[in-house]
Amino acid sequence: MDGNGHSNGEVYNDEGEYSIHELVEWSLDCILHALSDDETTVRWSAAKGAGRITARLPRDLANQVVNSILSDNFHRLAGHCSWHGGCLALAELSRRGFLLPENLPKAFPIIREALFYEEPMGRHALGSNVRDAACYVLWAFARAYEPNELKEYINSVATSLVIIFFYIFIFNLKNYFSFSADYFAVGNRLHCYTKVCVDVVKYAKYADAMVDHLIEKKTTHWDEVIRIQASLALGRIATIHTEYVSSKLKLLLDGCRSNNPVHRHGNLLALSQCLRGILSSGYKCDEYIICSVVGLPGELRAESQRLKVAGGELTRKALSSFMGTLAEIPISLNDEEVLIILLFFMYLLVSKFIIKSNMMVIDTNIVLEVNTWLERLNSFACDDTEAVRKGAISAAAIFIPAYLSSQTIEKFNHVMDHYIKGITSPMKENERIGVCGLVSCFPAKIMNERIFRALCNVVLRKCENDMKWAMGRRAAVQALGSVLKVCLSNEWAELCFEALFKGLEDYTTNSRGDIGRQASYNDYHFCL
């Protein structure tokens, strides 16, 4: 009883053991449930209430409240609201001195997990409030405990904070840490991934953890932009932290064979960027890794044939970027492997077909019967996704000049025949667009008059389909401009001007504007 004769809820049973009034127990139960409420204000109030009620409980019962929060609010199925409320409650309890040091071994792993919490939900993710609350908990811990009580956790916590500082975009957290770095530098996510993090990796204390986080969390992230930026970061880090990144190549290689298209996409991008960084720095990679990497475009052929909903489009985009990146580094390929990759570019540009090709596997190198592939190329249908075609053309612009020689073309003349057929008599418009884009990547040493005349004839000798395919005509004129840049012959000049003058008479417009004449305008300065 207090001085006014009212009960304060504290009672002792017949055996002298402390117990609480059932009304207090009911109130505490309501507050603990409110920690998982959908409203942020309710969770904040519940955390305050849990701290104030626990302050009036004896040590054993207060410890039960702490254990209840640790066990009920932080599990895989709890949801972001429960995690957020639990973090707020832990911060409040630690500030009031009720999260005892013996509970820290259980609390710290939970808080470290909360620092990276993310709950994917459609095309976005929940959990930024949980990560922010976890930082608040660490702030409360730093004020509540002696340094020697936190000593064993300092290194892991500091590493985690550095990682989320650079790789997890929390607006409040960027404000907290902007005193130690340029605010605008850390405010731009791409800049963090590609520039600022490279300076931090020079500190050995953080380097391994940052690489592990990128590989384990970011290369398999639900957001495609994050996966792309993570691969760029790994490529930059690989040039200065080469040995450790090279030890992770086998893990990335296994991830490229994942059944999950999102994981496959991220690992393909990361593997190619890591290899480029490692080999460009002069480090020698394991030959098994190199051979396996060279065989991946053929090995993943079946996965890349699937529909968009089954991850086929994502795999095609990843493989095009994969091969374009590897073309920038000195990986030796024989003529057969060059042709396989070249034909795969054709597949990316005019895909949605089924290859019936005999295949034999020798170690990790995949050798395809080229004639069967070429036979099936005649039945290609077009990929409706422009991003796939653009990715393949960008990769081909790097790969073809690096690996394709006149000797290779002479050995496989039927490849050039197929390109010409794709320009003059395609099955669909997108096939012409893709083939013209590929031809525009050819260097002067393999360009010939047959290709030049085929491009001109698309404009000069229109058939019924040509009249309808304005985008196909534009692609042919754009390819003609690329041909003129690398090899302009006096013998071709008359036919070239005739085609460009004819293109100026094309008044086709669509939602993008004047698409008919614009390509001809752009190409004139190459002739003049």
> Which residue carries 């932290």 as its tokens?
241
Identify whether 177 is part of a domain: no
Identify whether 212 is part of a domain: no
Alpha carbon distance 332, 425 (integer Å) = 35
Q: What pTM did the predictor assign?
A: 0.78
Note whether 372 and 357 are within 8 A (CB): yes
Please identify, among 151, 176, 207, the residue that sits at the C-terminal boundary of a domain. 151
Please identify, among 151, 170, 199, the residue that sits at the C-terminal boundary of a domain. 151
What would the two tokens of residue 305 be? Answer: 């044939």
Task: Give the count of domains, the chain.
Answer: 2
Strands (E), 33-133: 119-121, 124-126
Alpha carbon distance 83, 133 (integer Å) = 9
Identify whether 308 is part of a domain: no
- DSSP state string for 96-124: TT-S-GGGHHHHHHHHHHHHT--EEETTE
Nearest to 62 by CA among 74, 71, 47, 50: 50
Alpha carbon distance 503, 519 (integer Å) = 8
pLDDT of residue 408: 62
Give the Å distances, CA to CA, from 95 to 51, 63, 90, 166.
9, 15, 8, 28
pLDDT of residue 279: 86
Note whether 218 and 224 are within 8 A (CB): no
**Residue 238 host element (H or E):** helix 224-238
**Structural domain boundaries enclosing 133:** 19-151
Degrees to nearest 5, angle at CA 253 with 252 and 254 = 90
Identify whether 255 is part of a domain: no
Please identify, among 127, 151, 175, the residue that sits at the C-terminal boundary of a domain. 151
Identify whether 60 is part of a domain: yes
Identify whether 207 is part of a domain: no
pLDDT along the chain (528 residues), means of 10: 44 53 85 93 94 87 90 90 95 90 92 91 86 92 91 90 72 46 57 82 88 93 91 93 93 93 94 91 83 79 74 84 77 60 58 32 31 31 64 75 64 70 81 82 79 82 70 80 74 73 66 58 52
What would the two tokens of residue 264 be? Answer: 């496959």
What would the two tokens of residue 282 be? Answer: 């002069």
pLDDT of residue 138: 93
Identify whether 24 is part of a domain: yes
Alpha carbon distance 441, 346 (integer Å) = 13
pLDDT of residue 256: 93
pLDDT of residue 513: 58
Identify whether 393 is part of a domain: no
What would the two tokens of residue 494 be? Answer: 């008359």
pLDDT of residue 364: 29
User: Can you give the CATH number for the domain in which 120 is found?
Assistant: 1.25.40
